[in-house]
Amino acid sequence: MSESMLRAVLECYNFDGPILSCEPCGSGHINETYRVTCSQPGGRTRRYVLQRMNRSVFQDIDGLMENVANVTAYLRRSLLLSGGDPDRGTMNLLPTQTGKNYCTDPEGGCWRVFLFIEGAVCLDRVEKPQDFYESAVAFGSFQRLLADYPAETLHETIPNFHNTESRFCDFERAVREDVCGRAASVQSEIAFAMERREEAGALVHMQRDGLLPLRVTHNDTKLNNVMLDRETGKGLCVIDLDTVMPGLAVNDFGDSIRFGASTAAEDEPDLTKVEMDLSLFELYAKGFLEGCGGSLTDREIEVLPMAAKLMTLECGIRFLGDYLSGDRYFRVHREGHNLDRARTQFRLVADMERKWDAMHDAIRRVSGS
């Protein structure tokens, strides 16, 4: 970013005080993020988060920002009514000088500004089990606060994002086309996925049949998308709302388990290190249901183990499909990187199947059912 371009963007907003600095921050790989610091009377400062949205990933910026603006405004109202802190319990957009929720620079880049949440941190990995629990409470609270939001009014910022039937069609196409000639060497992995083809769409079918409600979902429920209080370690709010859209609450739970309850890194080559930690599964389920505060249906609670398995399977076929297609979607850092990722996901699926009864027992314990 040139200094003149950045200055032009900053001039679109009415910041509270003269700007002291604007510097890159964050560890995200999608959007370009800066921290803006402004001076206040008495030597104090006020900070903001400035982001340029990635238009190659998110092509409907108007729809995305309408989702973000409406959901954060709703969260703010819900927090005020429930006695929460609207300044720390949700992200808060700063409108442009013309009242819009984002601005456009001379080169067509799209920018937005949020108030910076002070006294909070994001963790890229679980440092202790309590961190995972707090993220669960935060994502559960996100569901509770938005339980009455009309999810069908949201834009689908990435179509079919967690439509496992559609994802399987994409995977089967990658196998058929085999553009890199890699399919012959991964027949066991392809077979593993195809053996689970029929059950992959189970949750999609349940939603279509009216057995699972459509809800506002986050769709990227990693630990680093939760702000934690720096002093207490308590979960404050959920961030990175670009993938907020209509979906299944149980998929948000399942994706958290896939990522956070694994005993190894997502790309661990040594599969003997990979399993699902049952204690972390139960701890996360406890926090998630506490955060939800009774907003989930009995059927949603019942299928939480299935959601963990299917979100893991979905991620595995996405990694394997991308490997077969020449590593065009997920960034790779070594030969066979996406294949390693796919194998870890399939290893987790197999381990969940071995622990299936224990997972259901854990859900019954924490839900009191």
HSE-CB for 317 with a 13 A CA cutoff: 28
HSE-CB for 330 with a 13 A CA cutoff: 24
Domains and their CATH numbers in the chain? 3-118 (3.30.200.20), 129-367 (3.90.1200.10)
Nearest to 126 by CA among 236, 269, 226: 226
* C-alpha span between 187 and 189 (Å, rounded): 5
CA 19, 227, 308, 76 torsion-angle sign: negative
Quote the DSSP letter at residue 212. Answer: S
Nearest to 210 by CA among 299, 83, 335, 287: 299
Q: What one-character-per-residue DSSP string does 353-369 give?
A: HHTHHHHHHHHHHHHT-
| Tens-place pLDDT, residues 264-318 | 999 999 999 999 999 999 999 999 999 999 999 999 999 999 999 999 999 999 9
* C-alpha span between 213 and 296 (Å, rounded): 9
- Cβ(366)–Cβ(284) under 8 Å? no
- Find the helix or strand (DSSP H, E) in which 20 lies: strand 19-24
Nearest to 8 by CA among 116, 114, 115, 108: 108
Residues in the chain with pLDDT < 70?
Answer: 1, 27-29
3-state secondary structure of 174: helix
| Per-residue pLDDT, 38 | 97
| Per-residue pLDDT, 4 | 86
| Per-residue pLDDT, 369 | 78
In sequence order, what are the beta bridge partners of 337?
none
> pTM for the full model?
0.92
Torsion angle of the four alpha carbons 147, 149, 154, 160, in this order, in degrees rounded to the nearest 10:
20
Quote the DSSP letter at residue 167. Answer: H
- Cβ(74)–Cβ(147) under 8 Å? no
| Per-residue pLDDT, 141 | 96
CA 216, 60, 237, 262 torsion-angle sign: positive
Q: What one-character-per-residue DSSP string does 283-311 give?
A: HHHHHHHHHHTT-S-HHHHHTHHHHHHHH
